[in-house]
Amino acid sequence: MTMTVFGLCGAALVGIGLYGLIVQAQPLRRILAFNLLGGGVFLLFGVIARRGAVEGLGSDPVPQAMVITGIVVAFSATALAISLVVRLKETGRGDDEGSA
């Protein structure tokens, strides 16, 4: 039951992230939507790894290590993206409306 709830929450996060990534034009909102998408993928990956361990396939630490590594990489990529957006705003070349 708990794994199903986590799986549905992960799918909802992926859906909301995709929607925000497609619809939003502002760079910071797109970065936030991309983070939601990534969080949903990490949650789904964790649920899939846990469900395999519950069904008797054995516990594998590799999916957990990949999720933790992915979270760290996502955090650093987010920090880089936000710093680039702030730098573009300071130079006056970044626009809030987007070009699409």
What the chain holds in terms of domains, given with CATH numbers, is 2-91 (1.10.287.3510)
Q: Is 25 helix (H, G, I), strand (E, B) or coil?
A: coil
pLDDT averaged over the chain? Answer: 85
pTM of the predicted model, to two decimals? 0.77
* Cα–Cα distance measured from residue 21 to residue 65, given in angstroms and rounded to the nearest whole number: 27
Instruction: Give, to the nearest 10 degrees, the angle between helix 27-54 and helix 2-23.
Output: 160
What is the per-residue pLDDT across 36-45, written as a single tens digit (0 to 9) for each? Answer: 999 999 999 8
What is the per-residue pLDDT across 63-99, written as a single tens digit (0 to 9) for each? Answer: 888 889 999 999 999 999 999 999 988 888 766 555 4
Under a CB-based contact definition with an 8 Å cutoff, are residues 40 and 14 in contact?
A: yes
Structure confidence at residue 94 (pLDDT): 63
